[in-house]
């Protein structure tokens, strides 16, 4: 109860979210499938008007409300099985609980005041990537811009028509996008299989060695429904565990009410979602909501053991299935993206709820309070976040730079692939298949090296980071590399200060840039011109400017 350990492993996982897209998914998909539906992401492809839906607040708010609230309700009936019966760890929730509990001990309180009063480390995680992630992106940029693009340029007029837009799927864009997409799908497939195998192995072991009650010989089946009396008499060996189980089982919301609410939201979704996105039919929504509880359970079971949320992987699978069923001529791109959004939004919110319930279990917090707070917070978030997103989108309408949100292009590419893009350049699928195999092999080698604890394991590049570089302009990669070099040099000079203050410095840079973007967006919306501006020019351009100004005097 008095553990004051700082969850550095969890912070590292959050920093890696830049390339593993988990946070982007949890925040409603604004940088992924929502922008992927728009006309900006559709530039260069021949999908047609039926496969383009630009963002709209009136459409986003009801969609996110239905999806997010449904996700919260899906897993509530399984909370006792997950936390009490199987005692799943849920590392992020446990680490958060340990940090909270540490505040209520004398030593822990002093430790926390260091972190909160003098360091901004815990104010925000920031966007600092591990060095290997940055190096992987650099490797991907060299592979993309230094090798593949020059080679493909030499094939202009041979493999694809000349004078095409660089973003056209019939030209170089058809190679770059699908190479990156294939590598990401390989990583997603590998992680999916790994988690499923680990989950099935643990479930099999629990089935073969069921929990014993009161040290007796009466075995309990792993998924047998428990009442409160049985759970309070479960195999707890210390006062803390008994007290936690008592509080967790005291304030309950009847499962019948939760299931009824989920069924009601499903019925509403059958009508509302197809009206918002006509490409997705009512029977598609019915299939998704019928299968969600099963797949959400599988996902959260793996999440509880490994702290890896595979909701994005399930979303990509849904995209491939429903997009291929509809076809590109009938809006299959939008169908796949909307199905992806429903699956990811629901499953990620359900996983977050279970993490919060684990935190509540460890901190003696009522699960009813956590559930109600989650519903209120999710409802507010589904209203406030789309409005904020719309403000920025409106301010940059027609000038959205997808290099800042590369996953929008990724999701568009996957949706196009699933719906049946038929005007790709020659050898595009062959090259993508080759990179799929290479990425899968790299993922297998990295996992084997990690399990065998080889020294080379920490130097194997990250597959997703390499793939992301195919969607980033070189300037972004250079900026990230410069930041990583600065952090590395800082660590060499003063390791302790670098570890303590690097997140605070990064947070300050990010917040300052964000405030600047907010100010420029507000000025763009109000059509206000800045009274003064600063521009940096090269030496030669500066001499030309001076010569021109001299003519005016």
442-464 tens-digit pLDDT? 888 888 888 888 888 888 888 87
pLDDT tens digits along 184-218: 778 777 876 776 777 677 777 767 765 444 444 44
**What pLDDT is recorded for position 531?**
72
Average pLDDT over residues 479-489: 78
- Percent of the chain having pLDDT more than 90? 11
- Rounded to 5 degrees, what are φ and ψ at 219? -85, 150
In angstroms, the CA 425 to CA 157 distance is: 11
Q: In this structure, are residues 248 and 242 in contact, taking their beta carbons and an 8 Å threshold?
A: no
Q: In this structure, are residues 273 and 285 in contact, taking their beta carbons and an 8 Å threshold?
A: yes
Residue 256, pLDDT above cutoff 70: yes
Average pLDDT over residues 231-241: 54
Residue 133, pLDDT above cutoff 80: no
Average pLDDT over residues 39-59: 80
**What pLDDT is recorded for position 125?**
32
In angstroms, the CA 544 to CA 32 distance is: 43
Q: In this structure, are residues 421 and 440 in contact, taking their beta carbons and an 8 Å threshold?
A: no
Q: Which of 18-32, 127-141, 342-356 has the highest mean pLDDT?
A: 342-356
Reported as half-sphere exposure (CB side, CA atoms, 13 A), residue 537 has a value of: 11
Residue 127, pLDDT above cutoff 50: no
Higher pLDDT, 374 or 482: 374
Confidence class for position 503, pLDDT limits 50, 70, 90: low
pLDDT tens digits along 139-164: 888 888 888 888 888 888 888 878 77
Q: In this structure, are residues 274 and 322 in contact, taking their beta carbons and an 8 Å threshold?
A: no
**What pLDDT is recorded for position 104?**
59
**What pLDDT is recorded for position 25?**
40
**What pLDDT is recorded for position 87?**
73
**What pLDDT is recorded for position 221?**
39
Evaluate whether residue 260 is within a structural domain. yes
- Percent of the chain having pLDDT more than 70? 71
Q: For residue 172, what are the CA distances in angstroms to 110, 152, 359, 389?
A: 57, 7, 48, 31
Task: Identify the weakest region by mean pLDDT among 159-163, 168-172, 319-323, 346-350.
Answer: 168-172
Evaluate whether residue 525 is within a structural domain. no
Enumerate the β-bridge partners of residue 375.
none
In angstroms, the CA 76 to CA 374 distance is: 12
Domain of 400, in residue numbers = 8-208+233-520
CB-neighbour burial class of residue 245 (10 A; exposed 0-12, middle 13-18, buried 19+): buried
**What pLDDT is recorded for position 165?**
66
Evaluate whether residue 86 is within a structural domain. yes
Task: Identify the weakest region by mean pLDDT among 231-245, 284-298, 359-373.
Answer: 231-245
Q: Whole-model pTM above 0.95?
A: no
Evaluate whether residue 545 is within a structural domain. no
Q: In this structure, are residues 79 and 297 in contact, taking their beta carbons and an 8 Å threshold?
A: no
**What pLDDT is recorded for position 15?**
35
Task: Identify the weakest region by mean pLDDT among 109-113, 199-203, 472-476.
Answer: 109-113
Task: Identify the weakest region by mean pLDDT among 217-231, 361-375, 512-526.
Answer: 217-231
Task: Give the CA angle between residues 37, 43, 49 to the nearest 5°.
Answer: 55
**What pLDDT is recorded for position 67?**
92
Evaluate whether residue 552 is within a structural domain. no
**What pLDDT is recorded for position 288?**
93
- Average pLDDT of the residues of the chain: 74
Total domains in the fold of the chain? 1
Evaluate whether residue 221 is within a structural domain. no
Residue 272, pLDDT above cutoff 80: yes
Residue 397, pLDDT above cutoff 60: no
Confidence class for position 472, pLDDT limits 50, 70, 90: confident
Evaluate whether residue 513 is within a structural domain. yes
Confidence class for position 136, pLDDT limits 50, 70, 90: confident
In angstroms, the CA 374 to CA 280 distance is: 28
Q: In this structure, are residues 131 and 484 in contact, taking their beta carbons and an 8 Å threshold?
A: yes
**What pLDDT is recorded for position 39?**
81
Higher pLDDT, 259 or 536: 259
- Residues comprising the chain, all counted: 553
Evaluate whether residue 535 is within a structural domain. no
pLDDT tens digits along 13-39: 433 333 344 444 445 678 788 888 888
Residue 180, pLDDT above cutoff 60: yes
What tokens were used for 60? 């986003």
Q: In this structure, are residues 241 and 361 in contact, taking their beta carbons and an 8 Å threshold?
A: no
In angstroms, the CA 292 to CA 217 distance is: 36
């Amino acid at each position: 109860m008095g553990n004051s350990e700082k969850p550095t492993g969890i912070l590292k996982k959050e920093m890696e979210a830049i390339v593993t897209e988990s946070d982007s998914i949890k925040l409603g998909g604004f940088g992924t499938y929502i922008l992927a539906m728009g006309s900006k992401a559709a530039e260069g492809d021949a999908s047609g008007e039926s496969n383009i839906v630009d963002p709209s607040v009136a459409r986003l708010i009801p969609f996110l409300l239905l999806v997010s609230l449904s996700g919260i309700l899906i897993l509530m009936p399984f909370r006792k099985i997950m936390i009490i019966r199987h005692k799943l760890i849920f590392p992020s929730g446990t680490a958060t609980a340990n940090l909270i509990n540490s505040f209520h001990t004398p030593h822990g309180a002093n430790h926390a005041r260091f972190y909160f009063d003098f360091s901004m480390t815990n104010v925000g995680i920031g966007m600092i990537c591990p060095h290997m992630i940055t190096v992987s992106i650099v490797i991907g940029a060299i592979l993309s811009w230094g090798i593949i693009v020059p080679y493909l340029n030499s094939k202009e007029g041979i493999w694809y028509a000349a004078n095409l837009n660089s973003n056209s799927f019939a030209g170089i864009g058809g190679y770059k996008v699908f190479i990156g997409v294939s590598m990401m799908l390989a990583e997603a497939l590998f992680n999916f299989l790994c988690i499923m195998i680990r989950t099935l192995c643990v479930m099999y072991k629990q089935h073969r060695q069921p929990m014993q009650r009161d040290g007796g010989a009466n075995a309990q089946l792993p998924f047998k429904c428990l009442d409160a009396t049985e759970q309070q008499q479960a195999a707890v060996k210390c006062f803390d565990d008994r007290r936690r189980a008592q509080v967790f089982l005291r304030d309950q919301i009847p499962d019948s009410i939760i299931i009824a609410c989920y069924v009601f939201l499903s019925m509403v979704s059958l009508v509302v979602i197809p009206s918002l996105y006509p490409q997705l039919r009512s029977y598609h929504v019915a299939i998704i909501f019928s299968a969600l509880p099963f797949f959400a359970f599988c996902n959260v079971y793996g999440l509880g053991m490994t702290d890896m949320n595979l909701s994005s992987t399930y979303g990509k699978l849904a995209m491939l299935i429903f997009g291929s069923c509809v076809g590109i001529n009938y809006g299959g791109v939008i169908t796949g993206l909307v199905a992806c959004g429903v699956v990811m939004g629901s499953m990620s919110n359900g996983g977050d709820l279970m993490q919060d319930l684990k935190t509540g279990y460890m901190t003696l917090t009522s699960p009813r309070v956590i559930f109600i707070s989650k519903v209120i917070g999710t409802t507010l978030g589904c209203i406030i976040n789309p409005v904020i997103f719309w403000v920025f989108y409106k301010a940059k309408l027609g000038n959205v730079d997808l290099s800042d949100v590369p996953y929008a292009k990724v999701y568009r590419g996957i949706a196009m692939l699933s719906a049946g893009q038929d005007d790709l350049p020659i050898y595009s699928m062959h090259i993508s298949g080759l990179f799929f195999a290479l990425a899968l092999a790299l993922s297998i080698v990295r996992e084997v090296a990690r399990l065998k604890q080889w020294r080379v394991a920490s130097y194997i590049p990250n597959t997703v980071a390499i793939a992301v570089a195919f969607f980033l302009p070189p300037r972004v990669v250079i900026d990230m590399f410069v930041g990583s070099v600065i952090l590395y040099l800082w660590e060499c000079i003063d390791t302790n200060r670098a570890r303590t203050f690097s997140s605070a410095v990064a947070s300050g840079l990010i917040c300052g840039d964000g405030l600047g973007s907010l100010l420029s967006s507000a000025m763009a919306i109000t059509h206000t011109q800045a009274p003064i501006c600063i521009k940096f020019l090269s030496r030669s351009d500066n001499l030309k400017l001076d010569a021109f100004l001299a003519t005016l005097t």
